[in-house]
């Protein structure tokens, strides 16, 4: 057995069971790129500060390049007995270049090293997720552009509420996703500080330059407090919180589209290319991708909860428990990117069923609120309060229910029997098309308002 890098004070080697239980190489090898980046910056700093020689630095840098190449070529042998990504790379470097490699860990601990690597990894992951969010936003805006003027029932409590433009509804998702991207970018700005040089927890008496390594790695500044630098994982918590909110948003899109694809709604038809079948029922065509978007959100939330539970009650500073921070983060990022990608794919492969939607629109008195507004506006001279108008329209709806008709089918006489304020122009307010035209408040579903929103996103997302 090879002596561990930390083996000096040990007389026995660890048992196989302990070795297997404590290793992290099986998953933290994902950090290799960032580990190598960090080591290169550290080696250059050590040389600048006269802690290692220039030729030693050069053999370290050359060796690290070679290791990166061999990892990417799939030639590198990851060894469980070398525990984690940091020691695998350091030991391989020592095998390769000898003595100079033994100087690389000067004024460094795996505690600041792992926090550095993980922050760099999270920074890259944030960028990838934000790119996937933008891609989904573009798909949703394009779907909106394809369906200009289409009115659909808007729901509250999953009951018919008011008519809305489909474009308006799709842009609601686009807004939510924009805040999701914003949360990730906020998180990135807060995590982008360098722990490197915090060493085990207390810093070092060697003349290192933490500002140099921070700069070289694209961090904003070195972290002020070495104990904080190695012990906290709030940056991952924040990242996974942002991911959880994304997952919750996507689960809601998933639910909506699953519902819309049902025979009962029939608002959308997903193409065959984004649907799957049943192993027993030959007729089935299921919207599985969006069901799984809904389902996988559970895992993303679970990853956050794992990490919160992991960090709860840990004493300062580094504890080995923290090694458990990586798998939930890797999982969360992989799942969220998959969810975003498949949602965009789905958006590009659904068609709205105009006919079914037209058939659905008349039911549910979607124009009732517009009618209540009509009375308020109409009556401003004689002062009908909204509450009274609400009551009059409520009774108009009751009349329709008893006559089994829509509001626009009521005669003026019928309506006048409920309020003398009703006039012939009332018919310009009834029916979903008329009702939609009456919306004019900022952010409303009115045609011009939605056109403004759409214009905003087309230019912001640079869609042509
Ligand atoms: N593999 C460890 C982790 O992921 C690296 C740090 C280990 N430090 C230590 N002193 N055992 O957290």
Sequential DSSP letters for 14-61? PPHHHHHHH--HHHHGGGHHHHHHHHHHHHHHHHHTTSS-HHHHHHHH
Joined together, the tokens standing for residue 219 give 């961090």
Does residue 84's CB lie within 6 angstroms of at least one atom of ligand 1? yes
Does residue 87's CB lie within 6 angstroms of at least one atom of ligand 1? no
- Could you tell me how many helices (H) and strands (E) the chain has, helices first? 18, 4
**How many angstroms does the Cα of residue 151 sit away from the middle of ligand 1?**
57
pLDDT > 90? residue 274: no
Closest CA to 119 of 289, 329, 312: 329
- CA 83 – CA 26 distance, rounded (Å): 9
- CA 251 – CA 245 distance, rounded (Å): 10
pLDDT classification of 381: cutoffs 50, 70, 90:
low
HSE-up of 300 (CA within 13 Å, CB side)? Answer: 29
Quickly count: other Cβ atoms within 10 Å of residue 319's Cβ: 15
Kindly state the average pLDDT of the residues 190-206.
Answer: 98
The percent of residues above 90 in pLDDT, for the chain, comes to: 91
pLDDT of residue 9: 85
Q: What are phi and psi of 220, to 5 degrees?
A: -70, -40
Does residue 114's CB lie within 6 angstroms of at least one atom of ligand 1? yes
Contacts with 316 (C-beta within 8 Å, 6 or more apart), sequence order: 201, 227, 231
Does residue 199's CB lie within 6 angstroms of at least one atom of ligand 1? no
Nearest CA to ligand 1 atom 12: 323
Contacts with 411 (C-beta within 8 Å, 6 or more apart), sequence order: none
pLDDT > 80? residue 382: no
**How many angstroms does the Cα of residue 4 sit away from the middle of ligand 1?**
14
Closest ligand 1 atom, CA of 85?
Answer: 1
pLDDT tens per residue, range 93-116: 999 999 999 999 999 999 999 999
pLDDT tens per residue, range 32-73: 999 999 999 999 999 999 999 999 999 999 999 999 999 999
- CA 311 – CA 333 distance, rounded (Å): 19
- CB distance 435 to 162 below 8 Å: yes
Contacts with 365 (C-beta within 8 Å, 6 or more apart), sequence order: 160, 397, 400, 406, 407
- Quick one: 168 exposed, middle or buried, by C-beta within 10 A (0-12, 13-18, 19+)? buried
Active-site residue, 157 included: yes
Cis peptide before 317 (omega within 30 of 0): yes
Closest CA to 268 of 375, 354, 377, 391: 354
Of 118-122, 322-326, 336-340, 382-386, where does mean pLDDT reach its minimum?
382-386
Nearest CA to ligand 1 atom 11: 320
**How many angstroms does the Cα of residue 77 sit away from the middle of ligand 1?**
20
pLDDT of residue 1: 79
Q: What are phi and psi of 163, to 5 degrees?
A: -75, 140
For the chain, the C-alpha Rg in angstroms (whole number) is 31
Coil, strand or helix at 323:
helix
**How many angstroms does the Cα of residue 28 sit away from the middle of ligand 1?**
10
Does residue 110's CB lie within 6 angstroms of at least one atom of ligand 1? yes
Does residue 231's CB lie within 6 angstroms of at least one atom of ligand 1? no
**How many angstroms does the Cα of residue 235 sit away from the middle of ligand 1?**
17
Nearest CA to ligand 1 atom 3: 323
- First-to-last CA distance in the chain? 62
Site to probe by mutation for ligand 1, drawn from 4, 201, 236, 323 as the one with most ligand atoms within 8 Å of Cβ, is 323
Closest CA to 242 of 322, 187, 168, 318: 187
Joined together, the tokens standing for residue 89 give 């790379």
Active-site residue, 278 included: yes
Contacts with 461 (C-beta within 8 Å, 6 or more apart), sequence order: 134, 137, 138, 141
β-pair partners for 352: 268
pLDDT of residue 11: 85
- CA 280 – CA 436 distance, rounded (Å): 44
DSSP secondary structure letter of residue 194: B
**How many angstroms does the Cα of residue 456 sit away from the middle of ligand 1?**
47
pLDDT tens per residue, range 315-356: 999 999 999 999 999 999 999 999 999 999 999 999 999 999
pLDDT tens per residue, range 207-224: 999 999 999 999 999 999
pLDDT tens per residue, range 233-263: 999 999 999 999 999 999 999 999 999 999 9
Closest ligand 1 atom, CA of 114?
Answer: 5
pLDDT tens per residue, range 132-173: 999 999 999 999 999 999 999 999 999 999 999 999 999 999
Site to probe by mutation for ligand 1, drawn from 5, 111, 230 as the one with most ligand atoms within 8 Å of Cβ, is 111
**How many angstroms does the Cα of residue 253 sit away from the middle of ligand 1?**
39
pLDDT of residue 5: 83
Does residue 322's CB lie within 6 angstroms of at least one atom of ligand 1? yes
User: Which listed residue (26, 271, 278, 459) is catalytic?
Assistant: 278
**How many angstroms does the Cα of residue 84 sit away from the middle of ligand 1?**
8
Nearest CA to ligand 1 atom 4: 323
Does residue 24's CB lie within 6 angstroms of at least one atom of ligand 1? yes
- CA 114 – CA 195 distance, rounded (Å): 9
pLDDT of residue 380: 63
Quickly count: other Cβ atoms within 10 Å of residue 244's Cβ: 19
Kindly state the average pLDDT of the residues 164-184.
Answer: 98
pLDDT classification of 204: cutoffs 50, 70, 90:
very high
Q: What is the pTM of this model?
A: 0.95
pLDDT classification of 278: cutoffs 50, 70, 90:
confident
Strand pairing class (159-165; 268-270): unpaired
- CA 208 – CA 47 distance, rounded (Å): 10
């Amino acid at each position: 057995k090879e002596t561990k890098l930390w083996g000096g004070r040990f007389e026995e080697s660890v048992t196989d069971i302990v070795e297997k239980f404590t290793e992290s190489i099986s998953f933290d090898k994902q950090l290799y790129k960032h580990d190598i980046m960090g080591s290169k910056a550290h080696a250059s700093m050590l040389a600048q500060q006269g802690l290692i020689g220039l030729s030693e630095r050069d053999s370290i840098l050359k060796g690290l390049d070679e290791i990166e190449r061999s990892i990417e070529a799939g030639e590198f042998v990851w060894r469980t007995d070398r525990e984690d990504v940091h020691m695998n790379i350091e030991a391989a470097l020592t095998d390769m270049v000898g003595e100079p490699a033994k100087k690389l860990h000067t004024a460094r601990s795996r505690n600041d090293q792992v926090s550095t690597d993980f922050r760099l990894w999270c920074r890259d992951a944030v960028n990838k997720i934000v790119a996937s969010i933008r891609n989904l936003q573009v798909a949703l805006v394009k779907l909106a552009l394809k369906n200009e003027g289409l009115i659909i029932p808007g729901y509250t409590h999953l009951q018919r509420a008011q008519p809305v433009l489909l474009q308006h509804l799709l842009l609601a998702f686009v807004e939510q996703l924009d805040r999701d991207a914003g949360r990730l970018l906020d998180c990135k700005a807060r995590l982008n500080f360098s722990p490197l040089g915090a060493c085990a927890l207390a810093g070092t008496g060697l003349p290192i330059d933490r500002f140099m390594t921070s700069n070289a790695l694209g961090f904003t500044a070195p972290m002020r407090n070495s104990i904080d630098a190695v012990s906290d994982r709030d940056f991952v918590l924040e990242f996974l919180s942002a991911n959880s909110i994304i997952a919750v948003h996507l689960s809601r899109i998933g639910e909506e589209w699953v519902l819309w694809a049902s025979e009962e709604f029939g608002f959308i038809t997903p193409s065959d290319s984004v649907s799957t079948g049943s192993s027993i029922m030959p007729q089935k065509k299921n919207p599985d991708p969006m069901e799984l978007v809904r389902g996988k959100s559970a895992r993303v939330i679970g990853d956050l909860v794992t990490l919160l539970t992991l960090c709860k009650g840990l004493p300062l500073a580094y504890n080995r428990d923290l090694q458990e921070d990586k798998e939930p983060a890797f999982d969360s990022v992989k799942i969220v990117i998959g969810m975003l990608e498949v949602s965009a794919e789905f958006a590009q492969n659904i068609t709205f069923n105009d006919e079914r939607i037209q058939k659905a629109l008349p039911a549910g008195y979607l124009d009732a609120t517009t009618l209540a507004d009509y009375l308020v506006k109409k009556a401003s001279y004689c002062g009908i309060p909204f509450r009274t108008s609400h009551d009059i329209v409520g009774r108009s709806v009751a009349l329709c229910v008893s006559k089994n008709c829509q509001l626009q089918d009521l005669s003026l006489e019928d309506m006048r029997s409920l309020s003398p304020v009703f006039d012939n122009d009332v018919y310009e307010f009834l029916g979903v098309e008329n009702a939609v035209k009456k919306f004019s408040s900022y952010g409303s579903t009115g045609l011009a308002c939605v056109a403004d929103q759409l214009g905003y996103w087309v230019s912001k997302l640079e869609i042509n």
